[in-house]
Amino acid sequence: MAMRVMAYPRYAALGASSRIRWLQFLPELRRLGLDIDVSPLLDDEYLRRKYAGRPTPVAIARAYAGRAAVVLARRDSADVVWIEKELWPWAPAWLERLAWGRRPVVLDYDDAVFHSYDLHRSGVARALFGGKIDRLMRAAALVVAGNDYLAQRARQAGAPRVEVLPTVVDLQRYAVAARPSEVDGPLRIGWIGSPATIDYMRLLAAPLAALATKRRIVLRLIGATLDLPGVPTEHVPWTEAGEVQAIAELDVGVMPLPDSPWERGKCGYKLVQYLACGVPVVASPVGVNTKIVQPGQNGFLAATDAEWVEALTCLADDAALRRRLGAQGRALVESRYSLQVAAPKLAAWLQELGARR
């Protein structure tokens, strides 16, 4: 009989974190012998309304009640419970632990969600919820962290077992393609993300404007819109079917970030996407970026405006360098940041916990 896993991601397919760290694993985990029942907290319609600026408090209340009903109905039917971050944001830790029952629980983190509580501007929120995630980590059978920053927090919280599993791509979906500028045209510098994170690109307003006065460039924004003065820009709507092609047509992928606690918890997924397509990268030296980006081997790290201009100019002027860095980036993804490498590890951890029960 297959081991049964009850999975509680935060979102359905439109939510990037749930889609990448959860849903893309399901076919391979099932092939490896796990029976997984998935119940998202928030559906795609919620995210569509959120990105359109239409808050949905009624939908959130309905989602919380729906999850409570599912948790109670299936409380004793699984061998392992697999939760993305927490069952209910802004619910007390004791309520979540009560809902777990006596089944082994795996918590997965790809963001520093604990900083939503312990660094909240409200003192009341910090007092009530500042230690919530630490208490959940301490009570879980296993914490799976997307990077070392998150893993260290789990260890400090007293989690009995912590494993690092980076955010990965499915190599069967990602391919290396010829770059447009190697034939003719401007250097295509790209960024992929959501409306919730597009403001990070404002960090590159001055460097890109300066570069545009010296080189032919175009900025491709995939999944969100932003106008930067003096920077030729094209906007590409995100679709799951089209994202790989949109990335594969880039010459350089970028990931600017401020150096702050929340950003140190990010897992660098867009860097992995670029490199999987053989696209060299330039990124801020923040958090896991410093582990993924190997300067001079698959891209460059840039902390100041001058460093950003220097790195992008270097790549703009040398197509052979772009090809070499891109090829080495693809090799890194194949060895460390692929679904094909990560899924067997995750399956083994879930099976081990289920067998103990």
* Residue-wise pLDDT tens digits, 88-142: 999 999 999 999 988 999 999 999 999 999 999 999 999 999 999 999 999 999 9
Closest alpha carbon to 205 in 281, 295, 308: 308
Cα torsion angle, 124, 127, 132, 134, sign: positive
Residue 210 is predicted with a pLDDT of 98
CATH architecture of 3-168+339-356: 3-Layer(aba) Sandwich (3.40)
Question: For the chain, how big is the Rg over CA atoms in Å?
Answer: 21
Checking if the pLDDT of 174 tops 60, the result is yes
Checking if the pLDDT of 356 tops 80, the result is no
Q: Does domain 180-336 have CATH number 1.10.3720.10?
A: no
* Model confidence, pTM: 0.93
Tell me the average pLDDT across 197-201.
97
Checking if the pLDDT of 201 tops 70, the result is yes
Residue 178 is predicted with a pLDDT of 64
Q: How many CA atoms lie within 13 A of 38 on its CB side?
A: 21
Closest alpha carbon to 196 in 251, 253, 246, 238: 238
Tell me the average pLDDT across 198-215.
98
Residue 220 is predicted with a pLDDT of 98
Residue 182 is predicted with a pLDDT of 58
Q: Which ranges in the chain are annotated with CATH 3.40.50.2000? A: 3-168+339-356, 180-336
